[in-house]
Amino acid sequence: MGTTSSGQDALSWLLYGARSSMLVGLISAVIGTALSVVIGTIAGFSGGAVDRFLNGVILVVQNIPSFAILFMIAGLLQNANVLLVSIIIGGLEWTGGARAIRAQAMSLRGRDFTAALRTIGEHPLRVILVEVLPHLSGIISPMFLRLIAAGVGMQASLAFLGIGSAAEPSWGLMINYATTQNALFNGQWWWFGPPGVCLALIGFATTMINFGLDEVTNPTLSSKRMTLMRKFLKQKKRQDAAGQPKIGAMA
């Protein structure tokens, strides 16, 4: 794929950059998902003053420009490592999932089975762990994948702007090098093409997996799919019957 002026291999940089970028995406997704699940579930299931307070926290954090804060913090810490960048991204990107989980938890709180468990004196924590969290899997899984893509994209953006540790290769750092060295005009496509394609594939893959998970976990989509399949099979059966010659005609 080519080398830099100092002899650094572009393919090795791409492979090591995948490790750095995906590590940031995974760690930030774990942190963001954990915050979303804990805060959203407690807010939605508790109600009252606890819900109002936590919902206010969610709204305040949601209205903070995430990239601007990340840019400022990472700029103050020029040698920010992978873990620190992941913590910052995860600490800023959890509010959307928390609001969705809060709404679902509020809906589950009013269901008959959770009301019955509270009536007989079950501990709220056990009700949340045993009855509420399994019903949130349809929200948690897509949210986790979305946060992975967001973490990878934000880390690449920071590295492209020259913020973070220059000692750790990443896809954004490759594009930054391509920009500073005029790789586009010099015909060195391998410095901006492969990392750009990898970033696009991460977003595309997470989106497709989200669609698949939504079809599996969403009963409405599953029933629609089964209905369409039954219609297709019936139509195919009628076409096969219409195309089959009669026995009398053959004789």
Of 147 and 69, the one with more pLDDT: 147
What is the distance between the alpha carbons of residues 218 and 60, in angstroms, rounded to a whole number?
31
Task: Kindly state whether residue 140 falls inside one of the protein's structural domains.
Answer: yes
Task: Kindly state whether residue 110 falls inside one of the protein's structural domains.
Answer: yes
What's the domain range around 147? 10-243
The CATH number for 230's domain is 1.10.3720.10
- What are the structure tokens assigned to 184, written together? 């586009």
Over residues 82-117, the pLDDT tens digits come to 788 888 888 888 888 888 888 888 888 877 777 777
User: According to the model, what pLDDT value does residue 249 have?
Assistant: 44
Answer yes or no: is pLDDT of 81 > 70: yes
Task: Kindly state whether residue 248 falls inside one of the protein's structural domains.
Answer: no
Over residues 135-192, the pLDDT tens digits come to 888 788 888 888 898 888 888 888 887 776 666 778 888 887 777 777 777 777 777 7
Rg over alpha carbons for the chain, rounded to the nearest Å, is 25
User: According to the model, what pLDDT value does residue 248 have?
Assistant: 44
How many domains does the chain contain in total?
1
Q: Which of 206, 218, 223 is nearest to 142 (CA)?
A: 206
Q: Between helices 10-46 and 193-217, what is the axis angle to 10°? A: 30
User: According to the model, what pLDDT value does residue 173 have?
Assistant: 81
Task: Kindly state whether residue 95 falls inside one of the protein's structural domains.
Answer: yes
Answer yes or no: is pLDDT of 223 > 60: no
Chain-centre distance of CA 109, in angstroms? 26
Answer yes or no: is pLDDT of 30 > 90: yes
Q: If you ran DSSP here, which 8-state letter would residue 133 be given?
A: G
Q: What is the mean pLDDT of residues 123-141?
A: 80
pTM of the model: 0.74
Residue labelled with tokens 């490759």: 174
Q: Which of 86, 103, 94, 131 is nearest to 47 (CA)?
A: 103
Which residues 6+ apart lie within 8 Å of 23 measured at CB?
Answer: 82, 86
Of 161 and 245, the one with more pLDDT: 161
What is the distance between the alpha carbons of residues 28 and 22, in angstroms, rounded to a whole number?
10
What pairs with residue 236 in β-bridges?
none
Band of pLDDT at residue 224, cut at 50, 70 and 90? low
What pairs with residue 181 in β-bridges?
none
Burial of 110 (0-12, 13-18, 19+ CB in 10 A): exposed
Task: Kindly state whether residue 229 falls inside one of the protein's structural domains.
Answer: yes
Distances (CA, A) of 74 to 1, 77, 84, 150: 31, 5, 9, 17
- What are the structure tokens assigned to 60, written together? 């305040």
